[in-house]
Chain A
């Protein structure tokens, strides 16, 4: 027993003497509670809604106002034609389009029924479900009010729900692009950060530094094989998601591949940056894997839409590269958008890549301290 207690005491001492262990023990749970508490939200707030009002009468106006004033939505636009729907979804800010048929009001008064379509952006299935449910509830409520307190069911507004892009509302349309985003950044950052710190740990870095090799040659030399291999990896993943999950690429495959390569380059550079601040492989692995995993899963819009989180998370997620890439990859794969809609995200990723490489080269020590 004595033996056992002595050993337990030693373990306690180790833990308290290493501040890193304490951070993991206490810091991470606290951080997680904070993030989970606020970030994970299955409510909607300020979801973008557009109206295609082919009737433009008093009733449609009232119903539209009711939808907007509910607090869950904000109006993004008033559309004129059906053909505008695709465009507005591609833009990304609108989650649903409410379409009132022609002569909505008079149809309702004359025939006792009129139909309204809720067309939701199916590329984000859980948002789409929430939006349509909320909208339906508001419409039903409006319908009830219209019929009056007497419970007279003479007027019937028939809401019809359609999914744009993902008619069957398959959830892997959401998951697969998200998983691709997550895996690529984790693996690429991990690979490059580990390969450099490994040289530091094994002492071979010393000899490399004393050689004529320039830091930029060492860095690019480390990145190049992983870049080429990741390219093969991406193609494999895309083929598999098509074959296994039936996830097609609606937009240009070339654009998709180019964006993937940019993202990979960014991730590899991030790994290099991590290696400049890590002394050991263990540190590198910790930062690359654990440091990147949670923010990517929770804060990039992978599962939980950023719009539903408090504003602060929105700002935080702006420095996370996966946020931009997820939007890009979903847009191209599911919505079929072209460069016109994704150029902003692409540019940001490009700038981030250049920034990481520049900092890495500067921080790369040509000496041992």
Chain B
């Protein structure tokens, strides 16, 4: 095992553990009335993987993520997240995942420390463990001076990094990130992705959606959704070869149709 920075043990064969299916989706269908938002989806995501979930707005991504994070039930098909059934055990799913979405991450009128303590409590972590993680988190991000600052005073980039750390505070099996780097400056974006890499190397699966096509390249595998269906699913390099494209953006443009709605 090679030693990476900070003495982290990085698995040699990449981060994927092919035997650990963190997400298992088989013939997933989700209908709203007669409108089919998810049309027979089939995919698996493995432990420690960084999985990119791409698609135009209205393609059905948000619907799928809501089902995977236990917020809504499928119409039909099999969905297992962290080993739990999405129909029968949504509460268990929620306990074992982390979630960060663009619109809301942290409470704006609380301080950094208060937010971390709060979420630690919500995740059911013991007080001693929360305190330890607060300390670790602040050190890792170099945020010690911000401990007692109110969130709304912090710049966007810092907030997003903090929100991500909070989402994985309880070391869940999988964390869902919904467009986490929207509007953030290019340096912070890259630092954020380095945090994602570091998290994945600890064995936490990262399921991320993004509109930045270069970020798709950072993923181990990506899927592209269009009009409720998955029209591509593979590693970025395989997709590029298959579609004779130089970048994932080219692949996207060739494959995905903009949503009809």
In the bound complex, how far is the Cα of B122 from the Cα of A9, in angstroms? 11
Q: Which of B47-55, B82-90, B109-117, B175-183 contacts A (4 or more CB under 8 A)?
A: B109-117
| A14 in contact with B107 given A2-B124, A2-B126, A3-B124 (CB within 8 Å) | yes
Contact present for B122 and A7 (CB under 8 Å): yes
Contact present for B118 and A7 (CB under 8 Å): yes
B120 within 8 A of A: yes
A10 within 8 A of B: yes
B18 within 8 A of A: no
A232 within 8 A of B: no
Could you tell me how many residues of chain B have their Cβ less than 8 Å away from some Cβ of chain A? 14
* A18 neighbours in B (Cβ, 8 Å): 109
| A13 in contact with B120 given A2-B126, A2-B127 (CB within 8 Å) | no
Chosen A-B contacts, 17 in total, with CB atoms closer than 8 Å, are A2-B121, A2-B127, A3-B122, A3-B123, A3-B124, A6-B117, A6-B120, A6-B122, A7-B118, A7-B122, A9-B118, A10-B110, A10-B114, A10-B118, A14-B110, A17-B109, A18-B109
Contact present for A14 and B121 (CB under 8 Å): no
Contact present for A3 and B121 (CB under 8 Å): yes
* B125 neighbours in A (Cβ, 8 Å): 2
Could you tell me how many residues of chain A have their Cβ less than 8 Å away from some Cβ of chain B? 11
A31 within 8 A of B: no
A33 within 8 A of B: no
B interface residues (Cβ-Cβ under 8 A, vs A): 107, 109-110, 114, 117-118, 120-127
In the bound complex, how far is the Cα of B119 from the Cα of A9, in angstroms? 12
Contact present for A13 and B114 (CB under 8 Å): yes
Contact present for B121 and A13 (CB under 8 Å): no
Q: Which residue of A lies closest to B115 (CB)?
A: A10
In the bound complex, how far is the Cα of B121 from the Cα of A32, in angstroms? 38
Other contacts beyond A10-B114, A13-B109: 7, CB < 8 A = A2-B121, A2-B126, A2-B127, A6-B117, A6-B118, A7-B118, A13-B114
In the bound complex, how far is the Cα of B107 from the Cα of A332, in angstroms? 56
Q: List A residues 236-283 near B (Cβ within 8 Å).
A: none
| A14 in contact with B109 given A6-B117, A9-B118 (CB within 8 Å) | yes
Can you list the 6 inter-chain pairs with the closest CB atoms, starting with the nearest?
A6-B121, A17-B109, A10-B118, A2-B121, A3-B121, A6-B118
Contact present for B121 and A5 (CB under 8 Å): yes
In the bound complex, how far is the Cα of B123 from the Cα of A3, in angstroms? 7
Q: A1-28 CB contact bits vs B (8 Å, 1 = yes)? A: 0110111011001100110000000000
In the bound complex, how far is the Cα of B114 from the Cα of A51, in angstroms? 73
* A2 neighbours in B (Cβ, 8 Å): 121, 124-127
In the bound complex, how far is the Cα of B114 from the Cα of A9, in angstroms? 9
Q: Say how far B170's CB is from chain A's closest CB, in angstroms.
A: 12
Q: Which residue of A lies closest to B126 (CB)?
A: A2
In the bound complex, how far is the Cα of B125 from the Cα of A181, in angstroms? 56
* B118 neighbours in A (Cβ, 8 Å): 6-7, 9-10
Q: Which residue of B lies closest to A18 (CB)?
A: B109
Q: Which residue of B lies closest to A10 (CB)?
A: B118
Q: Say how far A282's CB is from chain B's closest CB, in angstroms.
A: 16
In the bound complex, how far is the Cα of B117 from the Cα of A5, in angstroms? 11
In the bound complex, how far is the Cα of B131 from the Cα of A2, in angstroms? 14
* A13 neighbours in B (Cβ, 8 Å): 109-110, 114
In the bound complex, how far is the Cα of B120 from the Cα of A2, in angstroms? 9
In the bound complex, how far is the Cα of B107 from the Cα of A241, in angstroms? 50
In the bound complex, how far is the Cα of B125 from the Cα of A17, in angstroms? 26
Q: Which residue of B lies closest to A16 (CB)?
A: B109
* A5 neighbours in B (Cβ, 8 Å): 121
Q: Say how far B63's CB is from chain A's closest CB, in angstroms.
A: 25
* A3 neighbours in B (Cβ, 8 Å): 121-124
* A14 neighbours in B (Cβ, 8 Å): 107, 109-110
Q: Which residue of A lies closest to B119 (CB)?
A: A6
Q: Say how far A46's CB is from chain B's closest CB, in angstroms.
A: 51
In the bound complex, how far is the Cα of B106 from the Cα of A10, in angstroms? 12
Q: Say how far A11's CB is from chain B's closest CB, in angstroms.
A: 10
* A17 neighbours in B (Cβ, 8 Å): 109-110
Q: Say how far A18's CB is from chain B's closest CB, in angstroms.
A: 7
Q: Say how far B140's CB is from chain A's closest CB, in angstroms.
A: 22
In the bound complex, how far is the Cα of B124 from the Cα of A6, in angstroms? 10
In the bound complex, how far is the Cα of B109 from the Cα of A201, in angstroms? 21
In the bound complex, how far is the Cα of B110 from the Cα of A2, in angstroms? 19
